Amino acid sequence: MELKVRIVAASYRREDVAVELFGRTEDNRSVTVLYRGFRPHFDVIEPDDIYLKHLKDAGQFVSSEEKKLWYEGSYRNALRIYVRSPWEVPNLKKMTDKPVLAADIPFHHRFIYDMDLGACTSVTGEINSKEEKNFTTEMVIDATAFSQCEQFNPPLKILSFDIENSIQTQEIYVIGYAIYDGSSYVKGAITGSEKEILQKFVELISREDPDILTGYNIDGYDLPLIEDRMKKHGVRFAIGRDDGIPRRIQNQYWRVHGRVISDTWWNVKKILHPKNESLNAVAKEMLGEGKDNINRLKIEEEWQARRQEVIEYCIKDAYLTLEIFMKLRVPERSMFMASVSKLPLEDVMNGGTSNYVDSILIREADRMDVGVPLTVYRDKGDAITGGYVKSIGAGIYRNVIVLDFKSMYPSMIIKYNICFTTLNPEGQIIAPNGIRFLSPDVRQGLIPKILKDLMQQRDDVKAKMKRSDPKDRAFYDGIQNAVKVLMNTFYGVLASSFYRFTNPEIGAAVTAFARNTITGLIEKLISEGNKVIYGDTDSIFIESGNESLEETVRYGEMLSEKLSREENLSLEFEKVFDPFFSHGAKKRYAGKIVYPYDQAGTTLVRGYEVRRTDSFDLQSEALSKVFSLILDNKPDEAVAYAREIVEKVQRGEGIPISKLVISRSVKDVREYEKKESHNLANVRVAKKMLEMGETFVPGMKVSWIVTNGKKTPQEVEPYIEGNQFPYTPDWSYYAKRLEETLSRVTEGIDQQSESRLGNKNGQVTLDSY
């Protein structure tokens, strides 16, 4: 039989060294695919006989094959060695002094690369009916062959769960869940004795057989706690598709055979960067709905007094989490990324980006007989020089055109044939940092070739997208966007300090070419009479001399068209700001978008941190107000407002204490003792609260007011909502902090404001009031 499968996760088992692929078929069934007989292998440059003897003595040698591999600038004699046990390879690679290549590739990846599997793959095989292992999937297949197939996004089954447990005793009261299978939601809760809850939880996952497990902060909270309670009750934490148990990787995320464990909290952080990352805040923001009203800090009492409400609350948390997960389109986006990088979903969702590059690059290297070096650790210290950033003068600018290079770094790599396979002192292409590359007609670089293919692939997909009907359009758009991400990832790993193909000189050559390109262009623009006000890496900001928006847009279109043609590069006219403001620091600006028209009216603030964890409400409110006045073309009012509010705070007039509150959470007070961290304001506040007889539970957020900021450490007093605050805030401290924040911005408006709100060094002179 033949099945088309979207691979969710890949692994292997030791017993018979069978590779296990788990996934969902095109007709929406979960499946386990087993393949036996694949051998681990790695390459050694010019090995000696004694090494082969050692391998044989260790009972690991299976066979070998002579190769010629491109290694450090030339083709060398190499031996591809096939061995018995994947888990022995780390030891075997240490048993020789000769260069060992491709000996740190996880076995299931080696399999996927060698078989050239895609994220979706056509599997030929037979139903396995006598498999003794307890797989939870609908089918188990013994595979005999694999072939390419088109990519598809099946409706994955996702299970979100949440626990309520005692803070005092850790006992789990209830596990709530919500399941989405692509068409409908199912919700429920598991109650009973703790042991029953745990057993039923394992049964639920085994019966429902979800592809993805999620929840809010499950990586760091729910899963460790469940693991702990399972151990206590002697229940096997068997939630894998092979009946296996999950393991925590690097004290961070979790891995279990056959499923993806993806914490919604992490996805929220990565995609949304919200100021407040709590489930309640994120749900309100995204879904317009918050959590139920349960006092989590008194969960024991709540469980006794209003059990049913706690259960409902628990289910709701699981459901809200699932909705957020879906609304962020995590599964969909990950499937697109998996398709273009040809990886199982799990590697995309939980692995690092170097996986993407490995998957594409190692396959191509194998086809071209290029040796695949091991990952070596380099000093992180000498980071390469990055992009060019033009300094910007303080002020308000009108009708600012933004031009963007399309895929700047990939274009540089292709144009100058930049690659570890073309690096050569005889090369005709000389990078600004002095290193040389062979020209493409002498030797086409591996990475440039891959990027060229990816660019072509992206253009093809975009063209297809235009021709297709609306329902397919979103699919192609997802693919083309993932290709773009993948292309940029290639530069990312070249510049990173640890990747198998990393060479700092090569990364530096890419950015050096890019800097030359953009500075050359800026010079040209200026020589033609343009007012270039700013630029960063791959963008150029020009203050158009035109009065009207229509003229500005026409001018922007003309510039991008003319420059792209004249300079033979791809420069896009991206947007127009009006007004555009900066106080004179790189990477910090704010502007109102007026073009493209569908974004008109949006305010874009870059680099100015309106939200800071240690800021008080008044600070962020005042800063936002100042920005909005500036961008409404009322700079004078902005300066006046800033001045007024600072004065008010200095005098302590009419400012509600609540707007000065600084909050932060505190772990168990004892955890800070040994680390000399008791100077931390939040820790001191927690201690004071305990002394005052206030409720303090480890992990709780505490709030305080600074009463003397001049002392070290500063004096702080707990702020307890609802209670009268019996101390006087250090008004000067607050005025100073507020002024530091506001003056940085108002300084930029004009020269006079500098004397009004502070001096040029950013130092504050309160005397001026």
Partner DNA sequence: CGTAATCGGGG
Partner DNA sequence: GTGTACGATTACG
Question: Closest approach of Cβ 22 to DNA, in Å?
Answer: 12
Beta bridge partners of 142: 34, 126
Selected from 50, 249, 474, 526, the binder of DNA by CB under 7 A is 249
Interaction of residue 94 with DNA, rule CB under 7 A? no
Query: Which residue has 């620091």 as its token pair?
Result: 585
Q: Would you give the binding string for DNA spanning residues 423-462, x where CB under 7 A is met?
A: ----------------------------------------
Nearer CB in complex with DNA: 77/276 = 276
Selected from 182, 352, 596, 607, the binder of DNA by CB under 7 A is 352
Q: Quick one: DSSP state of residue 589?
A: E
Question: Closest approach of Cβ 5 to DNA, in Å?
Answer: 19
The footprint of DNA on residues 169-208 (CB under 7 A) is: none
Question: Closest approach of Cβ 41 to DNA, in Å?
Answer: 5
Selected from 5, 44, 89, 189, the binder of DNA by CB under 7 A is 89
Interaction of residue 78 with DNA, rule CB under 7 A? no
The footprint of DNA on residues 505-564 (CB under 7 A) is: none
Stated length of the chain:
769
Stretch that binds DNA, among 38-46, 446-454, 527-535, 623-631 (CB under 7 A): 38-46
Nearer CB in complex with DNA: 263/739 = 263
- What is the rounded CA–CA span in Å between residue 585 and residue 608? 10
- What is the rounded CA–CA span in Å between residue 19 and residue 117? 13
CB-count exposure of residue 93 (10 Å: 0-12, 13-18, 19+): middle
- What is the rounded CA–CA span in Å between residue 235 and residue 202? 9
Question: Closest approach of Cβ 113 to DNA, in Å?
Answer: 10
Q: Would you give the binding string for DNA spanning residues 652-671, x where CB under 7 A is met?
A: ------------xxxx---x
The footprint of DNA on residues 126-155 (CB under 7 A) is: none
Selected from 183, 250, 308, 763, the binder of DNA by CB under 7 A is 250
Interaction of residue 675 with DNA, rule CB under 7 A? yes
Q: Would you give the binding string for DNA spanning residues 307-346, x where CB under 7 A is met?
A: -------x--x-----------------------------
Question: Closest approach of Cβ 524 to DNA, in Å?
Answer: 33
- What is the rounded CA–CA span in Å between residue 437 and residue 444? 10
How many residues make contact with DNA (CB under 7 A)? 76
Q: Where are the beta strands (DSSP E) in 514-602?
A: 531-536, 539-543, 571-582, 589-595
Selected from 11, 339, 417, 753, the binder of DNA by CB under 7 A is 11
The footprint of DNA on residues 569-598 (CB under 7 A) is: none
- What is the rounded CA–CA span in Å between residue 294 and residue 612? 28
Tell me which H or E stretch contains 197. helix 194-208
Question: Closest approach of Cβ 699 to DNA, in Å?
Answer: 3
CB-count exposure of residue 566 (10 Å: 0-12, 13-18, 19+): exposed
- What is the rounded CA–CA span in Å between residue 136 and residue 144? 22
Tell me which H or E stretch contains 124. strand 120-127
Q: Where are the beta strands (DSSP E) in 570-727?
A: 571-582, 589-595, 603-606, 662-665, 701-708, 715-718
- What is the rounded CA–CA span in Å between residue 521 and residue 525? 6
Selected from 20, 194, 323, 347, the binder of DNA by CB under 7 A is 347
Q: Which amino acid is at 411?
A: S
Selected from 33, 279, 571, 735, the binder of DNA by CB under 7 A is 279
The footprint of DNA on residues 726-745 (CB under 7 A) is: none
Q: Is 368 helix (H, G, I), strand (E, B) or coil?
A: coil
Question: Closest approach of Cβ 225 to DNA, in Å?
Answer: 8
Interaction of residue 471 with DNA, rule CB under 7 A? no
Selected from 122, 191, 208, 220, the binder of DNA by CB under 7 A is 220
Interaction of residue 296 with DNA, rule CB under 7 A? yes
Question: Closest approach of Cβ 296 to DNA, in Å?
Answer: 4
Instruction: Say if CB 225 and CB 161 are below 8 A apart.
Output: no
| Strand pairing class (61-71; 74-83) | antiparallel
Instruction: Say if CB 597 and CB 552 are below 8 A apart.
Output: no
- What is the rounded CA–CA span in Å between residue 634 and residue 625? 11
Nearer CB in complex with DNA: 562/612 = 612
Nearer CB in complex with DNA: 131/671 = 671
Selected from 20, 164, 323, 543, the binder of DNA by CB under 7 A is 164
CB-count exposure of residue 547 (10 Å: 0-12, 13-18, 19+): exposed
Nearer CB in complex with DNA: 456/677 = 677
Selected from 5, 7, 78, 102, the binder of DNA by CB under 7 A is 102
Spatial CA neighbour of 715 closest among 703, 723, 705, 726: 705
Question: Closest approach of Cβ 30 to DNA, in Å?
Answer: 19
CB-count exposure of residue 330 (10 Å: 0-12, 13-18, 19+): buried
Selected from 33, 44, 103, 159, the binder of DNA by CB under 7 A is 103
Nearer CB in complex with DNA: 68/247 = 247
Q: Which amino acid is at 506?
A: I
The footprint of DNA on residues 372-431 (CB under 7 A) is: 375, 381
- What is the rounded CA–CA span in Å between residue 442 and residue 197? 67
Stretch that binds DNA, among 103-111, 451-459, 537-545, 578-586 (CB under 7 A): 103-111
Question: Closest approach of Cβ 147 to DNA, in Å?
Answer: 22
Selected from 326, 569, 680, 720, the binder of DNA by CB under 7 A is 680
Q: Would you give the binding string for DNA spanning residues 603-642, x where CB under 7 A is met?
A: ------x--xxx----------------------------
The footprint of DNA on residues 685-724 (CB under 7 A) is: 697-701
Nearer CB in complex with DNA: 193/755 = 193
Tell me which H or E stretch contains 641. helix 635-651
Nearer CB in complex with DNA: 216/589 = 216
DSSP per-residue codes, 608-633? --S--TT--HHHHHHHHHHHHHHHTT
Cα Rg for the chain, rounded, in angstroms?
Answer: 30
Interaction of residue 160 with DNA, rule CB under 7 A? no
Stretch that binds DNA, among 181-189, 248-256, 475-483, 627-635 (CB under 7 A): 248-256
The footprint of DNA on residues 253-272 (CB under 7 A) is: 255, 265, 269-270
The footprint of DNA on residues 750-769 (CB under 7 A) is: none
Stretch that binds DNA, among 27-35, 136-144, 235-243, 680-688 (CB under 7 A): 680-688
Spatial CA neighbour of 239 closest among 265, 218, 208: 208
Interaction of residue 247 with DNA, rule CB under 7 A? yes
Instruction: Say if CB 371 and CB 102 are below 8 A apart.
Output: yes
Interaction of residue 104 with DNA, rule CB under 7 A? yes
CB-count exposure of residue 326 (10 Å: 0-12, 13-18, 19+): middle
Selected from 124, 134, 252, 765, the binder of DNA by CB under 7 A is 252
- How would you label 367-405 residue by residue, b for 16+ Cβ within 10 Å and e otherwise? eeebbbbeeeeeeeeeebeeebebebebbbbebbbbbbb
CA distance between the termini of the chain: 84
Question: Closest approach of Cβ 665 to DNA, in Å?
Answer: 3
Beta bridge partners of 543: 400, 531
Question: Closest approach of Cβ 269 to DNA, in Å?
Answer: 6
Interaction of residue 36 with DNA, rule CB under 7 A? no
